[in-house]
A = this chain, B = another copy of it.
Amino acid sequence: MTDTQKPFHIVFLLFNGITQLDFTGPAQFLARMPGAAVHTAAKHVQPVQTDSGFAMLPSTSLADCPQADLLCIPGGFGTRDVIQDEETLQFLRDQAAEAQYVTSVCTGSLALGAAGLLQGRRATSHWAYVSLLEKFGATYEAARVVKDGNVITAGGVTSGIDFALTVIAEIAGQSFAEAVQLGLEYDPHPPFDSGSPAVADPKLVTLLNDRTYGDVLKELQKVIDAS
């Protein structure tokens, strides 16, 4: 908190089909850190289509992106393409080599895995896809935020907010993190208790797997096995 002059570069990867809250949640919190400089990097500096009916503008191409102090990879259905794109995977490796923190939210951990960055690490992902982590030499740990050395992975979507507070506390101290939490009124009161398979109606878990996640999981398995 003392040296507010030195920029702290936070790089988020953007891509079509991103689950935008994987990025926008942590971005809202992390942008309040001392010296925070947020960069949004995509293959091309063209509007990126999110999964929520609106577009975002990347601030930089992968090639022109500054070195991250904190690298964060969001997830989403677009992950399927990300993990097959060698240019993006090489970008992740190059950035990770010099970054202070290598992080992901939701299925962003699969992109870290595909880049070879989860070998021998404990990690997590969206609950529907945690079985894929072992394909990348990672060990799934059942937690909303998992820290193994400088690699921090978060669970599905909204986990990114708890992840961000954890990171802010580590970098800028707990009191600073608590001030950010207060400013953003993060005093969650979900009207229902259905936020994880452990507490939700089992029928809903089955429904989501049958309708969407089961097919996506099979497709991701195929892509990973073929690579």
Residues of A within 8 A of B (CB): 19-21, 24-25, 27-28, 31, 36-40, 47, 51-57, 59, 106, 126-127, 144-145, 155-159, 161-162, 165-166, 169, 174-175, 177-179, 181-192, 194-197, 199-201, 204-205, 207-208, 212
Contacts and interface: CB of A to CB of B under 8 A. Distances in A.
B31 A53 contact: yes
B59 A57 contact: no
A195 B191 contact: no
Given A31-B51, A56-B57, A57-B56, A192 B205 contact: no
A27 B28 CA distance: 15
A57 to B, nearest CB: 4
> What 9 pairs across the A-B complex have the smallest Cβ distances?
A187-B195, A156-B185, A38-B53, A178-B194, A24-B24, A188-B188, A21-B28, A31-B52, A187-B196
28 contacts: A20-B27, A21-B24, A21-B25, A24-B52, A25-B25, A27-B52, A27-B54, A28-B157, A36-B53, A38-B52, A39-B53, A53-B59, A55-B56, A56-B56, A57-B57, A144-B189, A157-B183, A157-B186, A161-B190, A165-B192, A166-B191, A174-B192, A175-B201, A177-B194, A181-B195, A182-B195, A185-B196, A186-B190
